[in-house]
Each structure stands twice: as C-alpha cells, then as structure tokens.
Amino acid sequence: MKNNGSNKVLMWILAICFAASLCGNVGLSNSKDRLTTQYNELDTKYQDLKTKYKDLSSENEANASLYNDKSDEYDTLQEDYDDLQDKYNTLEKKYKKKTANSINQSKIFKFFIQQF
C-alpha cells in the first residue's frame, strides 16, 4: 500500500507539473499571438513609411533636377544681363561724349556768331 500511496503522490506531482506546463504554454501562446500582432502592425507601418520614402526620394530627385535646370537658366540670364549692362555702359559713355561734343560745338558756334 505504501507503494500505492507513493505512486498517488507522484501522480499528483506529475499532474500539477503537467497543468503548470499547460498554463505556461497557453501564456506563451498568448504572448506569441500578441507579439505577432504587434510585429504585423509595425511591419505594415514600416512598409507604408518605405513607400513614402521612395515617393519622397523620387520627388526630391525631380526637385533637384528642376533646381539645377533653373540654376543653369539663371546663370545664363545673369551672363546676358552682364553683357547688356556692359553694352549700356559703353553706349552711355559714347552718348555723354557725343553730347558733350555737341554742347561744346554749339558754344563755339555761338561764340563765333557773337563775334561777327
């Protein structure tokens, strides 16, 4: 009988260990499901961000290209402006010189007329 009682105690210990194991597995399973759900949510957010990054990267490249084109246009316009400014300054000097000569000639002409 003693052996039978010892077997019962051993069976109870094994039953408790088995029940604890089942509870642990259920808890781990719940944790795994919760972590899997969180992972899937984070993966979805990551994929969305990855898509936005690709879109913004291509938009950034397009803007950089447009900026470079406009910068080149600006440089060309600046060169044209500088050329026109130089031509204007040259013509202005010629005009002032010609006007000064005309004024001097008219003064000389008036002087001669007054003398006669």
Q: What is the pLDDT of residue 80?
A: 94
Residue type (1 letter), 85: Q
Question: pTM of this prediction?
Answer: 0.47
Q: pLDDT higher for 69 or 20?
A: 69
Q: What is the pLDDT of residue 56?
A: 95
| Average confidence (pLDDT) over 77-106 | 83
Q: What is the pLDDT of residue 13?
A: 86
pLDDT digits (tens, 9 = 90+) for 17-42: 888 787 777 667 777 788 889 999 99
Q: What is the pLDDT of residue 110?
A: 65
Q: Please report, for residues 38, 55, 61, 68, 71, the alpha-carbon distance to residue 65 in angstroms, rounded to integers and kept in the order given.
A: 40, 15, 6, 5, 10
In the DSSP assignment, the letter for residue 50 is H
Q: pLDDT higher for 8 or 75?
A: 75
